[in-house]
């Protein structure tokens, strides 16, 4: 079992560079199976979730070549329409393949993605929308058996919640449907815009992506194209938090500032200075952070739920008491228990967590509970006296490429040991 060993209380200085967005690359890889020919995706991050998506594409008969952050997807050999249970379990967000596979092949069989560390993760909005488009979906024995007779038919789809995944599945299914589809209350995340940009480059006709109402005029077919994935805004916020929690000063390169500006107010309230120019940020932190009065997670452009754990790590060592309200996921405070092992003072009551900042944390062995919670534990380790060891690193490897190398390059004392047990 691999472990990270961190010796805390070293200020970060220098520079890091972010990679392409995981949550953009995943739906775009699904979209690539719909685009006839060889699509080229640039700036794809080297993550286990991307590996899982590539494995699904290959299982379906696509030829996939990877050269660093460049991925070529040739859908010519596409012949399958099922995602095996083991691949579904490896990455629950594989549900985004449903719309693409069914629209392209006329059928799809995959197992229910099930829950994860963040809670039950229902897909009712996905299934209701796809059924409105004319997809026949049978749910039996934990499997989804989907069929499209003829072509999907465009329609108006009001979403009761701006679900990112459901919006993506609708974009994929409606791109080649007959007629026009209008999504009301669509998710507005930058990753939605990026998926629409890929689809439009392959011949789709999508307007309004990134806004609450999106209009998709179905086309007959999609053709392969070349697309560069946008920078990862959550990885950007993670390195911002690393500078903040160590009282350091960090240049973060290859970012899209506009996509991460939603967290600037919280960082500034805690005493950080953020300078922006083109695709770089300079984050300068005070010797000790101030508390953040309250952080309410909301759909984009509100405060991102994926940054809640990162800000909590900062709040653990801030001066004063911070309040978090997690409005998106039912169970997204699992990292609080592990932070308390480092000496953090946190009280969780349902969707609310109250964090009373302490002057310094104390290093201890901790275990990642999920992707962003795991990143928060590393951040807390950077601010803790003594040694912190972090296990269950597969959570972190899902969403961060060369995480410890980047932190070490900016002055952190951190190393990974690939143990045998
Ligand atoms: C995406 O998950 C991201 N994952 C998540 O990032 C992110 O936290 C989330 O959006 C919110 O921004 C990927 O893009 C791969 P949702 P997704 O559908 O699509 C409920 C990370 O750290 N809901 O917007 O699953 C759901 O239970 C991951 O990279 C339904 O009730 O998010 C949740 O409470 C973690 N029914 C809320 O909506 C549905 O059919 C938000 O879910 C679908 C969702």
Q: What is the pLDDT along the chain (421 residues), one digit of tens a residue?
A: 899 999 999 999 999 999 999 999 999 999 999 999 999 999 999 999 999 999 999 999 999 999 999 999 999 999 999 999 989 888 888 999 999 999 999 999 999 887 677 887 899 999 999 999 999 999 998 899 999 999 999 999 999 999 999 999 999 999 999 999 999 999 999 999 999 999 999 999 999 999 999 999 999 999 999 999 999 999 999 999 999 999 999 999 999 999 999 999 999 999 999 999 999 999 999 999 999 999 999 999 999 999 999 999 999 999 999 999 999 998 899 999 999 999 999 999 999 999 999 999 999 999 999 999 999 999 999 999 999 999 999 999 999 999 999 999 999 999 999 875 5
Pocket test for ligand 1, best of 18, 19, 23 (most atoms within 8 A of CB): 23
Nearest to 75, CA basis, from 100, 112, 111: 100
Closest ligand 1 atom to Cα of 330? 34
Residue 312 sits at φ, ψ, to 5 deg, of -65, -40
Nearest to 328, CA basis, from 368, 296, 353: 296
d(CA 381, CA 378): 5
DSSP state of 291: P
Pocket test for ligand 1, best of 24, 121, 230 (most atoms within 8 A of CB): 121
297: left (phi over 0), alpha (psi -120 to 50) or beta: beta
In angstroms, how far is CA 366 from the centroid of its own chain?
23
Would the CB of 161 count as within 6 Å of ligand 1?
Answer: yes
d(CA 280, CA 14): 13
Would the CB of 114 count as within 6 Å of ligand 1?
Answer: no
Would the CB of 398 count as within 6 Å of ligand 1?
Answer: no
Collapse the DSSP code of 260 into the 3-class scheme (helix H, G, I; strand E, B; otherwise coil) and give the result: helix
CB atoms within 10 A of CB 277: 8
Is the pTM here over 0.85, yes or no? yes
Residue 67: partners with Cβ closer than 8 Å, 6 or more residues away? none
**Residue 170 C-alpha to ligand 1 middle, in angstroms?**
14
Would the CB of 10 count as within 6 Å of ligand 1?
Answer: no
Residue 39: partners with Cβ closer than 8 Å, 6 or more residues away? 32, 72, 73, 74, 75, 202, 224, 225, 226, 227
Residues labelled as active-site residues? 116
Helices 22-32 and 48-59: angle between axes, nearest 10 degrees:
10
Give me the residues paired with residue 206 across strands. 216
**Residue 24 C-alpha to ligand 1 middle, in angstroms?**
13
């Amino acid at each position: 079992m691999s472990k990270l060993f961190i010796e805390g209380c070293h200020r970060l200085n220098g520079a890091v560079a972010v990679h392409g967005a995981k949550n953009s690359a995943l739906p775009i890889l699904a979209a690539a199976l719909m685009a006839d020919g060889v699509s080229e995706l640039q700036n794809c991050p080297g993550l286990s979730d991307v590996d899982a998506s590539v494995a699904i594409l290959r299982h379906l008969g696509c030829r996939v070549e990877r050269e660093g952050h460049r991925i070529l997807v040739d859908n010519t050999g596409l012949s399958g329409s099922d995602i095996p249970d083991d691949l579904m379990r490896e990455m629950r967000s594989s549900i985004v393949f449903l719309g693409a596979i069914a629209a392209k092949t006329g059928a799809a069989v995959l197992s229910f993605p099930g829950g994860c560390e963040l809670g039950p993760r229902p897909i009712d909005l996905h299934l209701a929308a796809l059924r409105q488009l004319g997809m026949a979906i049978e749910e039996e024995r934990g499997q989804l058996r989907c069929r499209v007779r003829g072509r999907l038919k465009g329609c108006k789809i009001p979403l009761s919640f701006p679900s990112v995944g459901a919006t993506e599945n609708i974009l994929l299914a409606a791109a080649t449907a007959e007629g026009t589809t209008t999504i009301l209350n669509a998710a507005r995340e930058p990753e939605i815009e990026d998926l629409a940009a890929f689809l439009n480059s392959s011949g789709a006709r999508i307007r309004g992506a990134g806004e609450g109402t999106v209009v998709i005029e179905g086309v007959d077919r999609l053709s392969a194209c070349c697309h560069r994935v946008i920078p990862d805004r959550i990885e950007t916020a993670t390195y911002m938090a690393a500078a903040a929690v160590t009282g350091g000063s960090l240049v973060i390169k290859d970012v899209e500032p506009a996509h991460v500006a939603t967290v600037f107010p919280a960082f500034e309230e805690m005493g950080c200075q953020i300078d922006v120019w083109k695709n770089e940020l300079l984050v300068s932190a005070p010797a000790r952070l101030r508390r953040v009065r309250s952080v309410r997670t909301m759909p984009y452009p509100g405060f991102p739920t994926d940054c809640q754990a990162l800000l909590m790590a900062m709040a653990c060592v801030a001066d004063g008491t911070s309040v978090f309200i997690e409005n998106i996921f039912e169970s997204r405070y699992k990292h609080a228990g592990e932070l308390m092992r480092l000496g953090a003072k946190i009280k969780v009551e349902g969707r609310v967590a109250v964090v009373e900042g302490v002057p310094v944390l104390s290093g201890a062995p901790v275990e990642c509970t999920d992707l962003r919670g795991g990143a928060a534990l590393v951040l807390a380790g950077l601010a803790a006296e003594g040694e912190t060891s972090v296990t269950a690193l597969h959570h972190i490897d899902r969403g961060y490429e060369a995480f410890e190398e980047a932190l070490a390059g900016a002055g952190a004392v951190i190393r990974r040991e690939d143990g045998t047990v």
